[in-house]
Structure 1
Amino acid sequence: MTALSSESMSISHTLPTATLVSLLERSAHAGWWSLDAAAGQWTWSPQLARLHDVPAHGTSTSDEALAFYAAPWRERIAGCVDRCCRDGIAFDEEAQIVTRQGRPLWVRVLGEAVRGPDGRVVRVEGLVQEIAPTETAGEGSLRRSLAVGASPAGGQAFATVDTEGRWTYLDAAAEQLLRAPAGALLGRSLWNSFQKTGRLRLEERVRAALASHEPVEFEEPDTRQSRWLEVRGQPFEGGMALRLADVTARRKSQEQLRLLEGSIARLNDIVIITEAGPFNAPGPRIVFVNEAFETRTGYGRDEVLGRTPRLLQGPETQRDRLDRVRDALEEWRPVRVDLINYRKNGEAFWVDLDISPVWDKARKLTHWVAVGRDVTERKIAEEKIQYLAFYDALTKLPNRQLLLDRLQESLANRHQTREGALMFIDLDNFKVLNDTLGHQKGDLLLQQVAERLRSCVSKGDTVARLGGDEFVILLENRKDKPLDPAAGARSVAERILAALGEPYVLPGYLHHSTCSIGVTLFGKTPWTVSELLKQADLAMYQAKSAGRNTVCFFDPEMQAVATANATLAADLRQAWRERQFQIDYQPQVGPDGRMTGVEALLRWQHLQRGVVPPEQFIPIAEETSLIIPIGRWVLDTACAQLKAWENQPGRDHLSIAVNVSVRQFRHPEFVDEVMSAIKESGIAPHKLKLELTESLLADGIEVTVAKMGNLKAMGVALSLDDFGMGYSSLSYLKRLPLDQLKIDREFVKDVLTDANDAAIARTIIGLAQSLHLEVIAEGVETEAQRDFLARQGCHAFQGYLFCRPLPLQRLEAFIDAQLSGQLEIQSGTI
C-alpha cells in the first residue's frame, strides 16, 4: 500500500491510500486530520492546510486546530471531538470555516475513534471536505465516499470497486480479511468474494447502490471461514468506496444476548447485562435489561441501553459497597451486595444484587450479568426491629441499650479514646405533674422535653432516655468540634437550662418546669461505663441539693468554674432587668488628629463585683442569648446619640461604630432591627458603622454575605473587627461588602519590636488598599506606633494615645476641648 507523500504529517498509522488521496484531490478540496487523545496534539495533511489557508506545521493544540471554524460552529465541532475522544462516538457534521483572508467556506467534518488493545480511545481521525453552499446533508457522492473512506481503524479494511462492482483497490487489511492477495482479486466482482448462496443477493444490492448513488450496508455470513463480514459502501464518481470488517464476535454476542433475553425476559427479578468494558468512569455500558427492570425502576429499555448502571445510584447509595463491587469486577470475580438504588421518579429502594462474569469458550470475558431482587420490604422490617430494640417508643430517642453501646464504643480503645462529657438530666418535680394532671400530660411533657434536648446539641451527639424523666446526653469531642470537653459541656448545659425552663403548652394547661444536670468528663482517666454513669448521677443529685435548676460537675475544680459561671449568668440576667449597663465611647481619629467618629463600648457596673470586664460577661451573654436584647439596646442608644449630634456643629459629622456579636448577627430579625432603629431615630444610615467579628466567617458564609448585602443596601457602613485573628481568607474577604478593615490591637502592640507583627500590619494595610477599603488601627498607644502605621498607609487610629473610652458626659467635654483648641488630641486625655 502506498502512503501519502512525505510532505504529509507523520502519524502513528498508515493513512488513506494514494488512490483515495488522488480521489480527494481530484474530486474536491479535502484533507485528513488526526488527534492524539492522550497528548492533545493535532496533525493534518497539506491538502487540509491549503483548504483552511493555514501553515502546514507539524503539530498543534486544540485551540489552534479549531480556531479557523466560525464562532457558531466552533463549540459544536469541539464537542464532537471531545465526545469521540471520551466515548468513541463518531461524527459527521457540516460547519463553516473562515480563511485568513476572511473567505467563508462550507465544509463537511468527519471523525471516528481509534482504540488501543485495552479498548481505550488512543486517537481520533477524520477528514474535512469543502462542499457547495447549497448542498444539503445526504447529497454529494464524494462526501459520502469520504464518510466510508476515513482512515481505517480497529481491524477495519478499505477498498474500492468500479461501476461494475469489480475490485479496483484493496489495502493490506482487506487482503488479510478476504484471505486473498490483491492480485488475485483486482478485476473480479465484489460478490464473487463471498459464498455462492448470497452472491445473487449481493450483486443486486451493490448494483442498485451504484445506480442510485445511495450508500449500502450489509452483513454477510461466510460459511467457508465460519464468520460474518460487514460491508459498508458509498458510491462516488467512477465507483464505490468500501469499508470491510469482521463482525463475527459481535454476531455471536448478539446471538448470546438473544438467547439470554428469551430465557430471562420474564423473570420477576431485575436483570441487567453490561458489556465487559473497562471499569474506569463511566464504566461498562448496559446492553440488556428485562421487563422486571423496566417495571421496578420506571426506566424504559431505550432510556438505559448504552448507558451505565450509575444512573440508578443516588445520594444515599453506599459508596463503600460500590467500591467493593468495583474491586470484584476488576479482579473478574462475582460479588453480592445489598445496595440502595433509585427509581426514575427519585424513590429509593433496596436491591440484593448478585453480579457474575460471563465467559466465552476461549475463557474471554464478554459480559457481566447482574440479578437484583427488590428487598425494600425486608429492609423496612429489619429497621423496625432494630428501632424497637434500640429506641424509646415514646420520645423516639435512643434507649439505655443504645446509649451504653455508644458509650462503650467511645471507651473501647484507651489509646484512641475521644474526650467528651456525659450529662445526666432529671426533671424537677416531674412526679407532681404525673400525680396531679395524669400520665397522659406527663407523656406529652416528656416528648416536648426530648425535642428541646435535641435542639441543644450538635449533630453526632447522643440524646437518650433512660426511663421515667431521666435523660442522658453523650457529648464527644470530634475533629469538626474541637472544643474543650468542660467548656463544651458547660455551654450545652446552659442551653438546656434555658430551653427546659421555658413554659410547656399542654392541653388546657401552661406548665412551668426546670431540670437538674450532672456532668462528668471522660477521656483522660480509664473509667468504665458504669463508673461514668454513677459519677454523672451523683453530680445530678448534687445539682438537686444545690437548689435544682442548675448544673454540677463531678470534678470539683470544674464544679467551681461551673458554679461561678452559673452565678455570673444569674447576675447578668438581674443586671439586664435592673439596667446596670452603660455605654462608653472611644474616639476614632483621622490623619490630622481630628475626631471622625467613636466606638460604642458596653460596660457593666456590678453592685458588688464592681466593673465586670467585657471579656468575662459577653461570652455568658451570648450563651444565655441575653446578647440579643442587650445588643438591640446598644444599637438604639447609638442611633439616638447620632440623632442628638445631628444639629450640633463639630459633632454632626461624627459616626458611631457598634460591635455586633455572632449570636446577634445570626438572629433572624437582626436586619429588621437595624432598619427599625435607623427609621425610628431618623439618622443618616452611613453614620452608623457595624463592626463584625471574623468568627462570622467560620460557617454559614452564604447567609452572612446575604445579610451584609441587605445592610449595605440600607447605606450602613460595615467594618471587619480584629482582622487577622481568626477565620479570614481572601476567598471570603473579596465577597464581603465591607467598607473598612480594623487592625487588631495584638498586632499594633509590638509593631515596632516584632518583625512578624510589622509584616502583618503592612500586609493588612496593603490588602485594604488593593480592595479599596478603609483601614483603622486600634490599640495605638504611642506616637511611634502611629507614625509607623501612617508611613505604611494607615490614616485612621483609635487608642489611648488619643483618648480612653469615656462616658457620654466626659466625651462631650473632650469634644468641646478639642473644638476650642485647648487639647492636642494625639496625646490628649480627659
Structure 2
Amino acid sequence: MDGASLEHAQALLKLVERTAFVGTWTLDLHSGMLQWSEQLAQLHGAPPEYTPSRDHAFDHFAPEWRAEIEQRVRACAEEGTPFDVEAQVVTLQGRRLWVRAIGVAVRDENGKVVRIEGAVQDIAPHGYPQGSLLRHTVSMGGALGSGEAFATVDPEGRITFANEQAEKLLAPGGGELAGKSIFAAFKKTARLRIEERFRESFARQQRFELEELDARVSHWLEVRGYPFGAGLAVHLRDVTERHRADEQLRLLEGSIARLNDIVIITEAGPFGNPGPRIVFVNEAFERRTGYTRDEVLGRTPRILQGPNTQRDRLDHIRASLEQWSPVRVDLINYTKSGEPYWVDLDVSPVWDKSRRLTHWVAVGRDITERKMAEEKIQYLAFYDPLTQLPNRQLLLDRLNQALAQQEGGRAGALMFIDLDNFKVLNDTLGHQKGDLLLQQVAKRLRSCVAKGDTVARLGGDEFVILLENSGEKPIDPAKAARIVAQRVLTTLGEPYVLPGYLHHSSCSIGVTVFGRTPWTVGEVLKQADLAMYQAKAAGRNTVRFFDPEMQAIATANAALASDLRQAWLDNQLQIEYQPQVGADGHMTGVEALLRWEHPERGTVSPAQFIPTAEETSLIIPIGHWVLESACAQLAAWAHRPERAHLGISVNVSVRQFRHPDFVDEVTSAIVKSGIEPRKLRLELTESLLADGIEVTIAKMGSLKAMGVTLSLDDFGIGYSSLSYLKRLPLDQLKIDRSFVRDILTDPNDAAIARTIIGLAHSLGLGVMAEGVETEAQRDFLARQGCEEYQGFLFSRPLPIRELEALIDRLAAEEVT
C-alpha cells in the first residue's frame, strides 16, 4: 500500500472507531495472534476479554459468507489486497447481524505483509452512515480499492454519483451517468421490480438486496440499496459468473443425483474444527448413510466418522487438501444407525475461472463387500476354519518373529500337543463328533494361556502353543511351560459332552525352550515334535521336554531311515526263514523274517530298522515284497512232496494292514502264485486292536473268507481285550518269547503261558510258542497243551538254500 492509501486507510479506521456499533481487529501473520477490541466482542455478544482463535475466526460469519470472507483475508495476507465487504455475522446468542467488514495490509520495511488491521461495523438501519459521512465512506472505499461499483440515486432513481466501477457496469459504452435513471440499466421485465424495491426502501428507510439481469441480458447484477437522507446508496456487483456456476451446479446435481456412488460437495472452507460445511449430497448418499439431505447440509463430513475411522488416513486427506491437491483413500465411514462401511473415497478441488477454490467434491464408492471378501480371504489364509485358531502359516510367521527377538534377550517356549487315541473316536463315533471334540479342545486350550500367547492348530489332532516371554511377564520360559502344560493336561482331561456321548480324552505334550541359541523355525518345531513323541512313548497323558540326547537319537534315526531307503533301492534286504515244529517234532512251516546286511553298518537288527520302516512308510512296499516272495516260495514248494505240506508265516505291520489296498494285495498275490490260501499264515499284532476295531474285524473277515490262516502274534504284551478277541476270526494265538524265556523260573510267566493256552483252547484256537530254546521249556509247554513251537532249539533263521537243505535232510532221515 502506498503512502496516500495508508493515510486514507488510517483515516477510515479513525472514522469508524467514532461510529456507533464499530469494533476493530488485528491479525499478526507471524504469530497467528488475532486481537479483538471490546466493541467487537460486544457486537458478537461476547464478554469484553473474548478473542477467538485464528482457526475459528470465520465461524462467527454466517455459513454462506465464510468462504468469501476467508478468501478476502487470504488475498489480503498474501497479496496485500484490501477489502471492504458487507456480510452477515451470527452472534454467540444465534442472532444474525448485517455488518460491514474492512481490512488493510500492513507491510514491514521490506514490503512483506506482516499483519492485517480492520474494523467491523453494524449496518442495521439505525447505524447506516448518513450525509457527508457516507460520502467520506465512499471516497475512502475508493481509496482502499475495494473494487466494488457504487452509486447514489435520488428518490426518482436518477443517478447523483457513480464511481469508476459503476460506470463500467451501467454504461459499458461510455457516457455520463449523472442525471440518468438507474432503472434504464436493467432489462425491461426487471425494471418494475427494481422501482418497487427502491420506493419501499425510501418509504420504510430499510435496506434491500436483489439480483436482476441488466439491459445487456447476458449479465446478472447484484444490487444493494441503503437509504440515507433524501437518497439511496447503491452497491452493484457483477454476479454473472456465480449465476453460471450455480446453474452448472444445478445441472451437476441433476446428473449426480442418480449416480450409485456417494457424492458429497462441501464449501472450500478452512480445515480446522469443525471444517468445511456440506452444501450438497446425492440420493446414493442418503440411501447408504441413512441421513437425509436436510440433516447434513451445513454440517461437516465429521458426522460420518466413528471409532474405527482411520485417523492416519484422515490426516493424509487433510494434508493433501491443504495443498489443494486431489487425494484418494479407502476409509471406514458410519451410517446414521452406527453401522460401519468402507468407501473408496476420491476428493478433488473445484476452481472457478479466476483459479479461486470454491468447493471440494468427494466421490465415494461403497467397497464394503470387497473389503469383507478380502478379510475373509486373509482369514482363511491364516486361520483354521474348524477351530478358528491360527493355522500353520500364521504360527510360522509368529514363531519367526519370536526367534528374531532372541537377540534382545527374550526367550520363549513351544509346546506340541497331540490328542491320545483321537483316531478311535473318529473311527467309532464318526468324523462329526471328532470335529466337535476338536472345537472343544481349541476352546479349552485358549483358556489355558495368557493374552499374547498363540494357540494354533497344525492339522488333525495336533495343536501348538507358542509362549512368548515379554517384559510384562518376565518368567523363566521353562517354568512357564511347565505351568501351562500341567494346566493343559488337567483341562483337556476333563470329560467332553458330545451329542449322546460323554467322552474322556487325554493328550501328550512335547516342549522345547528357545532363546539361548540362534535356532531356526524348523529346528524348534522338530525339537517340540520329538519331545511330544517321547511323551507318547512314556505312556501318554504326560509332558516331556526336549534334550540333546533326544536330538542325538533323532539324528541317528534319520540317518538310519536314509540308509534304509537306499538299502531298499539297492536290494540289500533279504528274507530268512525260521522253522516251526509241531508237537510230534515234525516241521509244520516257517516264518519269513527280514534281514539287512549293510555294507558299512554290518548286520542291522530288525528291532532297529523295522520301527524305522514303519515310521517312514517304507514298510508298505517292503511288506508287499515279502508277501509276494512268500507266496512265490509256497508255489515252488507245492511241486516238491517233501515241502508241499509246509506253510509260511508273514508278519504284517499295523501301517501295512491299515493300507486301503492291503486285502486286494493279498488276493492278488495268492491268485498270481496259485497257492492254497490256507498255507499263507498272516501274523498280526495286538496293536491292531488299539483303534479302528471295526475296520480291523472287517478286513480280517475278508482274509478269513479267502482261506488265509490268521495268527495273533506276541499275544499278552499288547492291547489284550477279551471282548474284542472273541470277535476276531483268528486261527491261532502266538505266545510271546518274553513269557517263554523265564517260564521255568518265574511263576508269573508260567501262569501267563498256561492262561494263554487255556484261553486259546476255550476259543477253539491253535497255540504256538516262540523263543523256545531248551527241551525243558518245550516239555513244560507240551504238558500245558501247546501244539507248535519256534525257536533256536529247533533252528536259527536260515537263508532259503540252507532251509531247503535242512528240509531235504530231515525228509531223508525220516525215510531211513
TM-score by length of 2: 0.49
TM-score by length of 1: 0.48
